[in-house]
Amino acid sequence: MEYRQLPHGNEREKFGVLGLGMGNIQHTPPAQIEAIIRKAIENGINFFDLCAGGAVYEPFGRAIRGQRDKVFLQVHFGAVYDEKGEYGHGMHQLTSDLLKQAAKSSADPAQFPESAEEYGAYQVPKTYLHLYGENPIIMNWDIPMESFGGKTAYEVTRDLGFPAHASQQADFAWYFRGADRAAEVERYSPCSFGLYYSTVGEDTGEGDFFENLEPFLHPAEPEPTQPAPLPIQQPDPSPALRAAAPVSAADTNWLAVPAVGTAILAAMTAFFSAARHEEKN
């Protein structure tokens, strides 16, 4: 797998050039979804787009349990909607409100006891809202990216992403008109966000969503160790040393066994030799 680093990413935050989307497998049996995710991670895929139905999340959670530090997630949960739903969309307003509630209660196991028992509770460290007025941050989506042939993130969205959403083009093509750069979009600017909630302090406003966050790192590989040396077989003491060693009563008794056996064998040999001698005579 080939990996690439984002312009503002930590040197260890490298994304595989191939990712895996969840939209087309949300109706797959959960056990199979879990197996797919595990197999993908085994083969180097570390970026997953979780734009899918709720049936995906539980098997996905089971699959990455114990290896969360190996994967990056793209989630769709209200980050692009302001509190007014941007253009007054009711579902967008609801999503924004739910996002704010979820950010503050994510570490509370009492909110979803069954989920907490199965997966544990995790405190989301930062939450941004689009066009949020407090703690503003301006993102720069006009930086050319070598990974996309010099296109900026805005150009990738406009030239590659938006044309793939055929059902949206008639209603939202106006968004890109007259704007060759993201910074030139005036209505619902894609660059303007605000830090709604944080457990890691406020941003400096330098345009970095990951500011103050510690990256997930793979556990350090253990140092290679040399195999333990085989025990050295000490040579038996010489006959002279054995003779000099004190002899216990048990040793004396065991020494008598072969002596008695030898005497019996000698007696039997003499007996049968005498018998054969008499027969010849």
> What are the b/e assignments for 49-87, b being 16+ CB within 10 Å?
ebebeebbbebbbbbbeeeeeebeeeeeebebbbbebbe
pLDDT of residue 229: 53
pLDDT of residue 58: 86
The C-alpha torsion from 144 through 148 and 154 to 160, rounded to 10°, is 160
DSSP labels, 110-179 = TTSHHHHHHH------EEEEET-SSSEEE-------GGGTT--HHHHIIIIIGGG-GGGHHHHGGGGTT-
pLDDT of residue 122: 85
Residue type at 259?
A: A
pLDDT of residue 151: 94
- Residues linked to residue 20 through DSSP beta bridges, in sequence order: 48
Q: What is the pTM of this model?
A: 0.55
Q: How many residues does the chain have?
A: 281
With a cut of 50, which residues of the chain have pLDDT below it?
A: 78-79, 230, 237-245, 247-268, 270-272, 274-277, 279-281
Q: Residue 155 has which token pair? A: 């150009």
pLDDT of residue 261: 47
Gap between the Cα atoms of 15 and 3, Å rounded: 5
Quick check: 18 and 45 in contact, CB under 8 A?
yes
What are the C-alpha distances in Å from 114 to residues 93, 118, 119? 28, 6, 9
Quick check: 138 and 207 in contact, CB under 8 A?
yes
pLDDT of residue 217: 55
Q: Residue 219 has which token pair? A: 């556990």
Gap between the Cα atoms of 111 and 197, Å rounded: 18
